[in-house]
Amino acid sequence: MIGQGGSLDSRMLNVLLLCWMALLGVMTLLLRQRYRLETLRHSVEELRTESARNAPGE
């Protein structure tokens, strides 16, 4: 039910905020994991560059 003046019913607003909090939690979790993966990828890139630089014959 939409309240007067186009505002949201308080129960709707509460559920909306609850859903947002849940999705923010998911986002935080994913962001942390994805950041760690990117850090690892960066480390692998560094190692690869280093090994190419020190490869015999170069």
Partner 1 sequence: MAHGAASVVASTGQQKWGPGIIETLGIAALLAFAGYAALFIAPTERTMGVIQRIFYFHVPSAWTGFVAFFINLAGSIAFLRARDLKWDRLAVASAEIGVAFFTVVLVTGPIWARPVWGIWWTWDARLTSSFVLWLLYVCYLLLRTLVEETERRAVLSAVSASLRHSTFPWSISPSGCFARSIPSR
What distance in Å separates the CA atoms of residue 16 and residue 10, rounded to the nearest whole number?
10
Interface with partner 1, residue 26, by CB under 8 A: yes
Cα pseudo-dihedral 19, 22, 27, 32, rounded to 10: 170
Interface with partner 1, residue 40, by CB under 8 A: yes
User: Considering only residues 15, 56, 57, 58, which one is a binding residue for partner 1 as defined by CB under 8 A?
Assistant: 15
Binding site for partner 1 (CB under 8 A): 1-2, 6, 8-9, 11-12, 15-16, 18-27, 29-40, 42-43, 45-47, 50-51, 53-54
